[in-house]
Amino acid sequence: MKRFFLHAKIHRARITNKSLEYEGSITIDETLMKAVGIEEGELVQVVNIENGKRFETYVIKGPVDSGAIELNGAAARMGELGDRVIIMAYGLFDENEEHKAKTVVVDAKNRINRIL
């Protein structure tokens, strides 16, 4: 049997921009994406620590080392600038397949603080 398991997490990133008129998605700094193995266009779940809202969207690659965490389209209504979010991606794995998630903890400017 295959099951969904967490494969990547960006922990406590801060929202840096919002664009309600954009086509929709979340823009993430490419450095953070590479650190945990998230791909452009991948489905992610976003949890807003400040207000408890959860939503799913797809990822757009942001500029390298920009610290960008931007909510676009309808997702822009799910948080405010400076809100802390957890961004999670899941993968489909066989039960006997290794599935340890890569986690990046970031600082207040969305720079990598540590990798777990």
CATH number at residue 46: 2.40.40.20
Note the pLDDT of residue 23: 79
pLDDT category, 98, cuts 50, 70, 90?
Answer: confident
116 found inside a domain: no
3-62 confidence digits (pLDDT tens): 999 999 999 999 999 999 987 799 999 999 999 999 999 999 999 999 999 999 999 999
Q: Which domain holds residue 34?
A: 2-108
114 found inside a domain: no
Look up 19 and say whether it is catalytic.
no
29 found inside a domain: yes
17's enclosing H/E stretch is strand 17-19
Look up 22 and say whether it is catalytic.
no
Task: Indicate yes or no: pTM above 0.85.
Answer: yes
Note the pLDDT of residue 99: 87
115 found inside a domain: no
The count of structural domains within the chain is 1
The active-site residue, picked from 19, 58, 66, 90, is 58
77 found inside a domain: yes
Pairing of strands 43-48, 84-94: antiparallel
51 found inside a domain: yes
Note the pLDDT of residue 42: 98
The active-site residue, picked from 19, 25, 66, 90, is 25
